[in-house]
Amino acid sequence: MASACTWKKQTIIFARYDFLEESRRYAEKLTQFVRENAASFTEKKVETARGLYAQFLRTLLQKSLITPDDYEVYQQICPLFDPVYVFYDEKKDFYAQLVEVQEEILGGC
């Protein structure tokens, strides 16, 4: 069974796609299901929760918001941050410095 920490990390996907009505509905269904069954989780209940999560992923896939590869990966782990691709043939000034990126993300915090 997934730990509470893993569960929280997986729910980031609902926030990432918060502009969809389905995000709210599936997040509420899953959260309610986990709360109601937390004390008595069985393999069958785990599979039910995973099924709800997979249904949401299929919705994203059908709407072309994620790729088929994302669909497969997100069933195991939904990354907190989007990947950044590095091209080693570029000069250093091609990339923003970490301080600049941090400033943009955190707004001076």
Residue 105 and residue 91: Cα distance in Å, rounded? 23
pLDDT for residue 5: 42
Question: pLDDT digit string (tens) for 75-90?
Answer: 887 765 666 666 666 6
Count of domains forming the chain: 1
Q: Flag whether 16 is in a domain.
A: yes
pTM as predicted: 0.65
Is residue 87 situated within a structural domain?
no
Report yes or no on 102 lying in a domain: no
Range of the domain at 30: 7-81
Residue 96 lies in a domain: no
Tell me if 88 is assigned to some domain.
no
pLDDT class of 62 with cuts at 50, 70, 90 = very high
